[in-house]
Structure 1
Amino acid sequence: MALEQMAAEIQTSLEGKSFDGSLKFDCGTDGVIVLSDGQVTTEDQDTDCTIAISTENLTKLLDGSLNPATGAMMGKLKISGDMGVAMKMGQLLG
């Protein structure tokens, strides 16, 4: 799945929900998905929290087949920056 399509799905899933802070899913050479000010984009920018993750594992995270805590413990995703922002995002997508 292309990052643009994933970004659109995230935007749809966040409709009507509140998310304070900014978060970046960094998929390396595949690109980024940034959530900031209620908008989702694939344009890179500085954020409060960055989650380094492969595109494959991001797909699993979004469809619920990868638990965020388990993924972090197994090294499938790495969180840097404000951990509170990452935890809020997990609650919104879960």
Structure 2
Amino acid sequence: MTDVSRAIEAMKARFNPAAASGLDLIFGFNIDDAQHFNLIVKDGTCELQEGENADANVTLVTDSETLAGIVSGETDGMQAFMQGKLRTEGDMMLALKLNELFPA
């Protein structure tokens, strides 16, 4: 298991089902332009998929170091975004829901 897949698994482990009630969203992750993961949030559940997903509502594009920092809480996601270390493709406002769905 790679560091990136461990980070995504750790994020999934913190999933808050109550915050996902009634949601049907796909959060894509493009890490280092080489690794792709999706967290599929649907009505209180969360599933992890590997690979690209053209149906992702929002895709977070970053490097593995920044992702690990965000997941561990050492890096603030908003600061990473403002510094250009994290960017979004798709509905950027949905990226803000990540803190609610996957609290630290």
Same fold, judged at TM 0.5 (above): yes
Measured against the shorter chain, the TM-score band is 0.7 to 0.9
Unaligned segments of structure 2, at least 5 residues: none
Runs of 4+ that moved beyond 2 A = 1-4, 90-94
Q: Which residue of 2 aligns with 1:33?
A: 37
Following the alignment from structure 2 to structure 1, what is the Cα–Cα distance between the partners of residues 77 and 95? Answer: 9
Q: Which residue of 1 aligns with 2:68?
A: 59
**Contact in 2 for aligned 1:51/1:79 (Cα 8 Å):** yes
Q: Which residue of 2 aligns with 1:2?
A: 3
Give the aligned CA root-mean-square deviation in angstroms: 1.9
Q: CA deviation at 1:15?
A: 5.5
**Contact in 2 for aligned 1:68/1:90 (Cα 8 Å):** no
Following the alignment from structure 1 to structure 2, what is the Cα–Cα distance between the partners of residues 2 and 42? Answer: 14
Give the counterpart of 1:42 among 19, 33, 50: 50
| Residue correspondences, number | 94
Greater share of strand: 2
Greater share of helix: 1
Identity value in percent: 17
Unaligned segments of structure 1, at least 5 residues: none
SS at structure 2 position matched to 1:33: strand
Structure 1 pair 69/7, CA: closer, same or farther in 2 (3 Å)? Answer: closer
Following the alignment from structure 2 to structure 1, what is the Cα–Cα distance between the partners of residues 30 and 79? Answer: 18
**Contact in 2 for aligned 1:10/1:40 (Cα 8 Å):** no
